[in-house]
Chains A and B, each alone.
Chain A
């Protein structure tokens, strides 16, 4: 990987992601009850995203094993997450259902909480097309 294409630092990505979500019209319009936390595991980096009433209130970067609790986990290889970070993702890198059915993504933990918040989570993950890959 060259310096030119290198992803930003993990903290810079976390800040950009929180900003994008908290200023997104769709999430702000429909996120009144969007409250949950999830682990975004990109193998080489990981984050715990904490959302309260539609606002990202914290993104923990590379948390230790017992540092931060979360409801569910979205895990995939760095290569898969990099596909999500393209402005127009290639087929099967275009969403968590697609990558779970056809690539190496896994949805673990309290999947019910994911389903309860699916509309806003789907939008949040699509923000990677603008923010860039988390790894």
Chain B
């Protein structure tokens, strides 16, 4: 510690210079924290297994187990499945944000964030925004694997990009609900359990793995109002062509609704939780 001994005469450690606050603090702080989250993800690639390998397993299971029965051939079923399962994949990635935050906020580093002169919501916004990288990885690996299996787009790059962006935006907004659960629950396991209770009716109460017409009437009514089903239909229309309808508009309305309701609730729960 010789270096430190010298600091007595030459104050490296501290000096009275006060740092002046700069404008747009919340945006800058959230971005800095989002970068932290991205760096952490890239440094621990095993954390990306759930958005790379897991969706591929789902695709393989559905396509080879159900493809023949539902569409007559696995190739045709892949066309039907992939735009929809992309939605499920990204939503699951959004759930992981809530689970991870539940573990993270117990750690000392969040105490430090709370002792810094930054907005109370910045660490949450940073984590949720930083996890957008996971969505991108999820979509990229799923579409690449789909292409290898024989999936082909029937529309242009703009439409495909629109489908991806719409999915990411929806999952980002909905992930605030999982962040809220993450703030309210005691353990990551409890977060995951509760989140699945919400995710299953949302992702499986859709035409993701089978056409709606084959379902009983009550289930069809649910599919009609389920925003995830609308998002999957929009994604199919944007990737394969066909009638787009009002789905995009409704998905955007639902997304903003989720964001406006759950983001403030999640931030409030984070403030109360010490």
The reply to whether chain A is a binding partner of chain B is no
